[in-house]
Structure 1
Amino acid sequence: MGEHALSIGGGTPAITIVRGEGVRVWDTSGRAYIDCTSQSWALYLGHAHPEIRAHVGEVMGDLWHTHQGFHTLQREAFADRLIGLSKASDTRYHYDRVVPAVSGALALESAIKLAALDRPDRRLIGRVRGSFHGTTLGMAGASWPGTDDVPTERRTLAAFAGFGPAWASLSFPEPDRSPQENLKVLDEELTRFGDLLLAVLVEPVQGSGGQREVPRYWLERLRDRAARQGFMVVYDEIQTYIRCGRYFTDIDQLGPHMVALGKGLAGGFACGAVLMRDDVPGFPRTGTYDLHTFASSALAHSVAVKVIDIVERDGLLLAARDSGARLRAGLQALQHRFPEIHEVRQVGLHIGVEFVEPGTNAYAPEFAASVRHAALERGLLVGLGGYKPEVVKVKPPLIVTREEIDVILERFGAALEATHAR
């Protein structure tokens, strides 16, 4: 029966992967591909990293699953390490506790629970247009497919409207408006929500929203309004942790109340976490507020620490910035040959290429989809933006080499050539 025996709720059909190593995967015919999706952007160290493989074997020789109520040395080391990463010499805000979770979306739900316990008279939650925070019932209303961000036929998650929290949308700070205009819009929207607002979720760099970076001035105003208005700010760093060439988005200065993590946190094993500011009360010691069978995986927590060890030893934060800059330069060079490329957006190895119709600047999602398909035919896996389907995402593992980047650019250029010639 094969794939017909499965009911899959999302994703773009592609190849059948049978093996992976480093930045490459192989299909059933033995053909190799360079993987610039990092499999949902989650494999910072690539496929089948030998040190992770060996480490997993060692951990599993002793322990890999525990009930959440039991303490483990792995969980303690995991929390301590994340807290340590949040500290800087000029720290203004301090983070001192971690809530373990099963995934990024469930980490965001834990953050909302924490906010609701502290502010029980508030129920409205803010989200930024174009955002994607997961597909759970709780997060469906916060993600673009469940909202009026997109036309009716694309609102697939709207089927679950009403099952989760009440959401309010904030406008994305558009680059064609001045900072003053963007701040005026933000102030007006926050004022309109008033003291109903419990929290605001924000991705510092929108992933599904087209790899768009939220300006620092906007995040600073959100921080200041939160302090005055009494709501909490939650950063969704599920895609930006490590991949952007930094652990977090200047949280020691921008001061979100909580930071939600997931995806690449544990090197491809299911894992999430909430990093909490020291003035967030947290869950009471007694009672059942946030209990998950697999939220205390000794295996995932130990691998998450091992990932940090390797990132720090091998200088992979700097490598992400350098490799991203090399990819950006190569992609921008292709703009001279292909007028369909409107913009290349890059923060570390968080990269998006936006396509338009030449001469009109109308978005070109069909061209982007064709480029993705042509790249696949040439042995290169890239992704597409969801909210912004005119954006092709190029996000290889952080271990990608200069030589592999050159191959990526060559294959991407060939895919552009083939699509442009049609």
Structure 2
Amino acid sequence: MTENDLLARHRAVMPAWMALYYEQPLEIVSGEGRRLTGGDGRVYLDFFAGILSNSLGYGVPEITAAVERQLAAGVVHTSTAYLGRRQVEYAERLAELSGIPDAKVFFVNSGTEANEAALLLATHHRRSNQILALRNSYHGRAFATVAVTGNRSWGATSLSPVHVSYVHGGYRYRGPFRDLSDADYIQACVDDLRDVILTTTAGDVAAMIAEPIQGVGGFATPPDGLYAAMKQVLDDYGILFITDEVQTGWGRTGEHFWGYQAHGIVPDILTFAKGAAGGLPIGGVIARAELMDSLAANSLSTFGGNPLTMAAASATLDYLLEHDLQANAAKLGEKLITGLRAAAEGLPIVGEVRGKGLMIGIELVEPGGTQPSPRAAGLVMEECRRRGLLVGKGGLHGNVIRLGPPLTLTEDEADEGLAILSEALATVDAAV
């Protein structure tokens, strides 16, 4: 069966709103290290890691061995009706790593579920359905998480179980405060936050949810300290702070293990998913015991914390820490960002190169201004694929190239990817 045959079958049985990358969509058939083999027979260097989920790359012996040991035990699922040794051991490690005092952990299967659970905890504890979220944000595809997503291209419905007010701060490039200094930018966002609370809420807001770096929004990166300044306002009102670490966790930003740590605060609730289990489905919520234990009714997650995923997650965490992949992300991220900014000089289609660690966005614009250019982004993706590199795309307008390689990326692979990206950007700049 050819890829064209597979594409036809896909379109016959899959939703029309499930977008596929590339003019000729790509099937992935195998992987090793940071390389993927496609159904077209080509081998590609992967700079997007399954939307940052394959945090260690592919074919990692330690992860494979951990999963195989659990499979050999014959138990891949038990449910939360029984004690789970692996679940308890992994939760103990996460509670300590989270930085949240007296923390408890609840496991689910995705970032969407994790954020839904966080919103449930916050609204129940505060007895309020009012939520603050950031413009250009993305928090999931379920009912409440769509409601708190401040990105129209992912807003499937205006119906909502929560009352949401949106504030400035996450996305600087197209914001009204973009030309201010960092200090003045933070102050303007804090002033906006106070005004939004005073004018669009009843005052008893349950929580603010924020991504330290906006993922789907195009790896938009606010200045360090923004959320610390905002939290001072939140604390005045007793508003909880939820940090959405679905994409920024596990050392990906290079500077810290969690993205929130760049802001010098401690969140009330932390959510995680994606890269935690080396590609297996996982999600979770970490919160102060006071919050986590506040639900009066029974609840569970049928597949959350299942033994197979816990085995992979524990092995992934071991590998991350033992190989100091946070330091690797910092070193190679700096190399890529510096190299991309140098390559972008004199290219009118590049509006901004931004990010931290191995979480990098390239905002593409129409030459001569700042108008977003989804056309250029599509062309850059095709040029990269043609040269053997897979990258991602995002942003409100679909005009941002997103780079999130596996954290195991090598220096030679960083150089290889940088060379391909530089060539692709120059080629597309000349074309448009």
- Shorter-chain TM-score above 0.5: yes
Q: Is the 8 A contact 1:125 1:197 kept in 2?
A: yes
Once the two structures are TM-superposed, the CA of residue 383 in structure 1 deviates from its matched residue by: 1.0
Once the two structures are TM-superposed, the CA of residue 119 in structure 1 deviates from its matched residue by: 1.7
Give 1:236's aligned amino acid.
D
Once the two structures are TM-superposed, the CA of residue 389 in structure 1 deviates from its matched residue by: 2.1
Structure 1 residue corresponding to 2:179, chosen from 176, 180, 184: 176
Q: Which moved more, 1:392-401 or 1:271-280?
A: 271-280
Whether 2:389 is the aligned partner of 1:380: answer yes
2:272 maps to 261
Whether 2:10 is the aligned partner of 1:6: answer no
Q: Which moved more, 1:338-347 or 1:304-313?
A: 338-347
Whether 2:413 is the aligned partner of 1:404: answer yes
Structure 2 residue corresponding to 1:287, chosen from 297, 302, 308: 297
CA–CA separation in structure 2 for the residues paired with 1:281 and 1:53: 33
Q: Secondary structure at the match of 1:216?
A: coil
Once the two structures are TM-superposed, the CA of residue 180 in structure 1 deviates from its matched residue by: 2.4
Q: Which moved more, 1:407-416 or 1:306-315?
A: 407-416
Give 2:87's aligned amino acid.
R
CA–CA separation in structure 2 for the residues paired with 1:20 and 1:346: 27
2:257 maps to 247
Structure 1 residue corresponding to 2:326, chosen from 317, 324, 344: 317
Once the two structures are TM-superposed, the CA of residue 71 in structure 1 deviates from its matched residue by: 1.4
C-alpha spacing 1:55/1:252, structure 2 compared with 1 (3 Å)? farther
Q: Would you identify which runs of 4 or more consecutive aligned residues in structure 1 move more than 4 Å?
A: none
Kindly report which structure 2 residues correspond to 1:88-237, keeping only aligned pairs within 5 A, or say none.
94-120=101-127, 122-145=128-151, 150=152, 154=153, 157-158=155-156, 160-172=157-169, 174=172, 175-177=178-180, 178=184, 179-192=186-199, 193-237=201-245
Q: Secondary structure at the match of 1:195?
A: coil
Structure 1 residue corresponding to 2:314, chosen from 305, 315, 318: 305
Once the two structures are TM-superposed, the CA of residue 17 in structure 1 deviates from its matched residue by: 0.9
Q: Is the 8 A contact 2:51 2:404 kept in 1?
A: no
CA–CA separation in structure 1 for the residues paired with 2:367 and 2:246: 34
Structure 2: give runs of 5+ residues left out of the alignment.
Answer: 1-7, 173-177
Deviations 1:49-103 (A, max 9, x none): 221111100122223212122211100011111112134xxxxx52421111121
CA–CA separation in structure 2 for the residues paired with 1:253 and 1:418: 42
Q: Which moved more, 1:383-392 or 1:106-115?
A: 383-392
Task: Please give the root-mean-square deviation of Cα atoms over the aligned residues, in Å.
Answer: 2.0
Q: Is the 8 A contact 2:107 2:301 kept in 1?
A: no
C-alpha spacing 1:51/1:85, structure 2 compared with 1 (3 Å)? same
1:78 maps to 90
CA–CA separation in structure 1 for the residues paired with 2:272 and 2:163: 23
Q: Which moved more, 1:63-72 or 1:345-354?
A: 63-72
CA–CA separation in structure 1 for the residues paired with 2:265 and 2:289: 14
Once the two structures are TM-superposed, the CA of residue 253 in structure 1 deviates from its matched residue by: 4.2
1:90 maps to none
C-alpha spacing 1:229/1:194, structure 2 compared with 1 (3 Å)? farther
The total of aligned residue pairs comes to 405
Q: Secondary structure at the match of 1:205?
A: coil
Q: Is the 8 A contact 1:86 1:252 kept in 2?
A: no
Once the two structures are TM-superposed, the CA of residue 337 in structure 1 deviates from its matched residue by: 4.6
Q: Is the 8 A contact 1:325 1:346 kept in 2?
A: no
Structure 2 residue corresponding to 1:43, chosen from 54, 69, 80: 54
Q: Is the 8 A contact 2:204 2:237 kept in 1?
A: no
Q: Is the 8 A contact 1:139 1:164 kept in 2?
A: no
CA–CA separation in structure 2 for the residues paired with 1:124 and 1:279: 20
CA–CA separation in structure 2 for the residues paired with 1:187 and 1:287: 34
C-alpha spacing 1:362/1:24, structure 2 compared with 1 (3 Å)? same
Q: Is the 8 A contact 1:223 1:256 kept in 2?
A: no
Give 2:132's aligned amino acid.
G
CA–CA separation in structure 2 for the residues paired with 1:67 and 1:362: 51
Q: Is the 8 A contact 1:195 1:230 kept in 2?
A: no
CA–CA separation in structure 2 for the residues paired with 1:281 and 1:75: 16
TM-score (norm: length of structure 2): 0.88
Q: Is the 8 A contact 1:83 1:96 kept in 2?
A: yes
Q: Which moved more, 1:231-240 or 1:161-170?
A: 161-170
Once the two structures are TM-superposed, the CA of residue 279 in structure 1 deviates from its matched residue by: 4.3
Once the two structures are TM-superposed, the CA of residue 110 in structure 1 deviates from its matched residue by: 0.9
Q: Secondary structure at the match of 1:318?
A: helix
Whether 2:80 is the aligned partner of 1:68: answer yes
Structure 1 residue corresponding to 2:380, chosen from 371, 394, 413: 371
Give 1:172's aligned amino acid.
G
Structure 1 residue corresponding to 2:70, chosen from 47, 53, 59: 59
Structure 1: give runs of 5+ residues left out of the alignment.
Answer: 88-92
Give 2:179's aligned amino acid.
D
CA–CA separation in structure 2 for the residues paired with 1:339 and 1:386: 19
Q: Is the 8 A contact 2:137 2:214 kept in 1?
A: yes
Whether 2:411 is the aligned partner of 1:413: answer no
